[in-house]
Amino acid sequence: MVQKHILLKESPSQTAGPYVHIGCTPNFAGITGVYPADLGAQMKTGKVKGTPIEIIGQVIDGTGTPLRDAMLEIWQADADGLFNATNETRGDADPNFTGWGRCATDMQDGMFRFQTVKPGRVPFIDGRLQAPHVTFWIVARGINVGLHTRMYFPDEDAANADDPVLSRIEHATRRPTLIASQNGEGRLRFDIVLQGENETVFFDM
């Protein structure tokens, strides 16, 4: 007897919706008792190597309005350019630094904040050193697929000029959208513009 096959159709594409915070940042959403703290809220678990920094910013839509329901994740190397990952073979990363953070934008002003450290340089796939950078992933209502971008540092002109990723951006006038601005001692401002004038460069990952 031939088995009857039931073919399932692909579900319609869905945005993250307003419920992403419930599953990913329940404490932020007012749901306590799931985790002592939301995963990714603390990147430093003890005394860390390197220079502590704070990254702040807003996710801005095409009308110039900050999104108040976005969620961001960041990945980065530690101060020595090592990742806290099982496939890191170049050395031992800082055990007091996770290298990964998650933050929902504030419901009042749409701000996000990460307490982290300035990362060291890591090699590109061809061995060339990349400039210090932080990788961002952004999701929000109205975004079907999470957006990937990078933040580079304003005090790394020489390294930024040689960076193998920045140099691949065809229109040099758009490269500054990936470079943060100094916003006080130890604080960097990095606004992510989704569309329109000064749209941030996003990467196809």
pTM (2 decimals)? 0.89
| pLDDT per residue as tens, the chain (205 positions) | 566 767 776 666 556 666 677 788 888 888 998 889 889 999 999 999 999 999 999 999 999 999 998 999 999 999 999 999 999 999 999 999 999 999 999 888 899 999 999 999 999 999 999 999 999 999 987 787 899 999 999 999 999 999 999 999 999 999 999 999 999 999 999 999 999 989 999 998 7
Identify residue 166 by its one-letter amino acid code.
L
pLDDT the model gives residue 174: 95
pLDDT the model gives residue 10: 62
Structural domains for the chain? 40-193 (2.60.130.10)
Residues 136/151, Cβ–Cβ less than 8 Å: yes
Distance CA 116, CA 31 (A): 25
pLDDT the model gives residue 103: 95
pLDDT the model gives residue 141: 78
pLDDT the model gives residue 145: 84
